[in-house]
C-alpha cells in the first residue's frame, strides 16, 4: 500500500512568512502590457504569477519567470537530453538571497490559491515527484508545501508494490489515491516507477500475467505503457485534474556527497541503504530510461519539469514556480453566495447584534 502522509502546518512559520510579505517591497519596473511583450518574452506571458498587486506584469518579474522555467519545461515540443541540462544554478546566474525571498513570496501565493482551490472544488491538482536517490524529494515537499492547509493536501509514497497491488493493473493503486476535486495530492514517486524501475530491472518478465503480455518484446511492452500513461493523464485532465510532473535532476557527484553525509552522520544513517549503491551503479541506464520516459509522456496539458537538484534552495524555488504556475492556470475562485442567501445576511447580522 502507498504510504500516506498528511501535512502538519507550522502556524508560527506561516505567520512569519505573512509578516515578511507585508514588509517586503515589490520589485519596481514599468508595467509590461501584453501587446508590448517581445517575442522572447512570450513564455513569460503564460505565467500569471508574475502579476503585481495591480494585476499587471512587471518587466522584472516577466524576465525572472522566463528565466526560471522555460529551459526546464518539456511538453513534447522538444526532446530531453539530461547531459545538456544543468544540475545547479550556475547557468542561470541567480542571487541566492533574492531567490530565497522569491520562494517565500511564492509559498504565500500557493497558500492563498490552495485555499481558493479547496473552496472552489472544481479542479484537483496532482504533483508527481520523481528523482534518483538523494535528490531531495522529501525536503522539497516539506519546504515548498509545508505552509498549506493540511486538510487540502495529501502525500503518498509509492513503494515496491505488494501482492494485492501486483494482482491488479499498475494504475490501480494510484487511482485509489486520487484527490477529490478541490484538493491536492503529492505523489512522492508514482506510477512512473512502473516504467522506470521495472524497465531497468526487467521486472515485467516476472509478472503473473498472460503470455501475450509477458512474452512481448520489452520495447513494445513499455511503448504500450507510455501510451497508457499518456491516455490516463489525458483522462484525468478531461475530468478536471491537472498533473504537474517534476524530475529532480541531481548530479552523480552530488549524490555521492549526500550518500557520504548519510553514512557519516548518525542521525541520517536511517536514510541510507546498501541497496542505494546497487542502484547508483546503474546511473547511466536510469538516465537513459528517464529520457525515454519523459520524452514519451510529456504533453502540452501534462508537461514535465526537469529541475536542477544540486542546490536545494534553488530546487525549492523552481518547484514553487511550477506548482504556482499550475494553480494560477486553474485560477480558483471563492464561491459566490446566491442572491437569496446574501439577502438573508442582513437579517442574520441583525439577530446576532440583538443578542445580549
Mean pLDDT of 4-29: 39
- Could you give the CA distance from residue 199 to residue 73 in angstroms, rounded to a whole number? 24
pLDDT greater than 70 at residue 298: yes
Query: Please, which pLDDT band fits residue 70 given cuts at 50, 70 and 90?
Result: confident
- Could you give the CA distance from residue 175 to residue 156 in angstroms, rounded to a whole number? 12
* DSSP 8-state secondary structure symbol assigned to residue 194: H
Give me the residue label for grid cell 512481448: 216
Instruction: Please report, for the chain, the start and end positions of each structural domain, with discontinuous segments joined by +.
Output: 3-354
pLDDT greater than 70 at residue 124: yes
- Quote the pLDDT of residue 269: 96
pLDDT digits (tens, 9 = 90+) for 198-232: 999 999 999 999 999 999 999 999 999 999 999 99
137 CB-near residues (< 8 Å, 6+ apart): 129, 131, 188, 189, 248
First to last CA, the chain: 55
CA distances from 232 to 236, 243, 298 (A): 6, 11, 13
- Quote the pLDDT of residue 146: 82
Angle between helix axes 312-330 and 59-69 (nearest 10 degrees) is 110
- Could you give the CA distance from residue 239 to residue 142 in angstroms, rounded to a whole number? 28
pLDDT digits (tens, 9 = 90+) for 99-121: 999 999 999 999 999 999 999 99
pLDDT greater than 60 at residue 44: no
Mean pLDDT of 160-173: 96
Burial class for 123, CB neighbours closer than 10 Å (0-12, 13-18, 19+): buried
Query: Please, which pLDDT band fits residue 163 given cuts at 50, 70 and 90?
Result: very high
More confident residue, 171 or 346: 171
- Three-class SS state of 199: helix
- Quote the pLDDT of residue 50: 45
Q: Is the pTM of this model over 0.75?
A: yes
Superfamily of domain 3-354: P-loop containing nucleotide triphosphate hydrolases (3.40.50.300)
16 CB-near residues (< 8 Å, 6+ apart): none
pLDDT greater than 80 at residue 45: no
Amino acid at each position: 500500500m502507498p504510504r500516506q502522509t498528511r501535512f502538519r502546518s507550522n502556524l508560527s512559520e506561516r505567520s512569519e512568512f505573512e509578516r515578511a510579505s507585508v514588509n517586503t517591497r515589490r520589485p519596481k519596473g514599468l508595467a509590461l502590457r501584453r501587446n508590448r511583450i517581445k517575442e522572447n518574452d512570450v513564455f513569460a506571458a503564460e505565467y500569471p504569477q508574475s502579476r503585481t498587486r495591480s494585476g499587471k506584469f512587471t518587466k522584472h518579474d516577466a524576465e525572472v519567470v522566463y528565466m526560471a522555467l522555460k529551459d526546464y519545461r518539456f511538453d513534447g515540443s522538444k526532446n530531453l537530453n539530461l547531459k545538456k541540462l544543468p544540475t545547479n544554478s550556475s547557468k542561470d546566474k541567480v542571487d541566492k538571497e533574492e531567490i530565497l525571498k522569491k520562494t517565500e513570496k511564492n509559498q504565500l501565493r500557493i497558500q492563498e490559491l490552495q485555499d481558493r482551490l479547496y473552496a472552489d472544488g472544481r479542479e484537483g491538482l496532482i504533483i508527481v515527484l520523481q528523482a534518483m536517490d538523494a535528490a531531495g524529494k522529501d525536503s522539497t515537499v516539506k519546504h515548498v508545501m509545508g505552509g498549506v492547509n493540511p486538510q487540502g493536501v495529501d502525500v503518498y509514497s509509492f513503494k515496491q508494490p505488494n501482492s494485492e497491488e501486483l494482482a491488479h493493473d499498475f494504475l490501480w493503486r494510484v487511482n485509489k489515491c486520487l484527490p477529490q476535486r478541490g484538493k491536492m495530492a503529492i505523489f512522492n514517486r508514482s506510477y512512473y516507477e512502473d516504467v522506470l524501475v521495472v524497465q531497468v530491472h526487467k521486472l515485467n518478465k516476472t509478472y503473473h500475467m498472460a503470455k501475450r503480455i509477458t512474452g512481448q518484446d520489452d520495447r513494445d511492452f513499455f511503448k504500450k505503457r507510455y501510451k497508457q500513461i499518456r491516455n490516463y493523464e489525458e483522462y484525468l485532465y478531461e475530468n478536471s485534474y491537472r498533473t504537474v510532473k517534476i524530475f529532480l535532476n541531481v548530479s552523480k557527484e552530488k549524490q555521492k556527497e549526500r550518500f557520504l553525509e548519510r553514512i557519516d552522520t548518525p542521525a541520517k544513517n536511517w536514510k541510507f541503504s546498501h541497496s542505494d549503491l546497487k542502484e547508483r551503479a546503474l546511473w547511466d541506464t536510469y538516465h537513459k530510461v528517464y529520457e525515454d520516459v519523459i520524452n514519451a509522456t510529456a504533453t502540452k496539458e501534462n508537461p514535465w519539469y526537469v529541475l536542477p537538484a544540486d542546490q536545494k534552495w534553488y530546487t525549492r524555488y523552481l518547484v514553487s514556480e511550477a506548482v504556482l504556475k499550475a494553480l494560477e492556470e486553474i485560477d480558483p475562485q471563492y464561491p459566490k453566495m446566491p442572491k437569496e442567501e446574501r439577502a438573508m445576511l442582513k437579517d442574520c447580522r441583525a439577530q446576532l447584534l440583538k443578542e445580549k
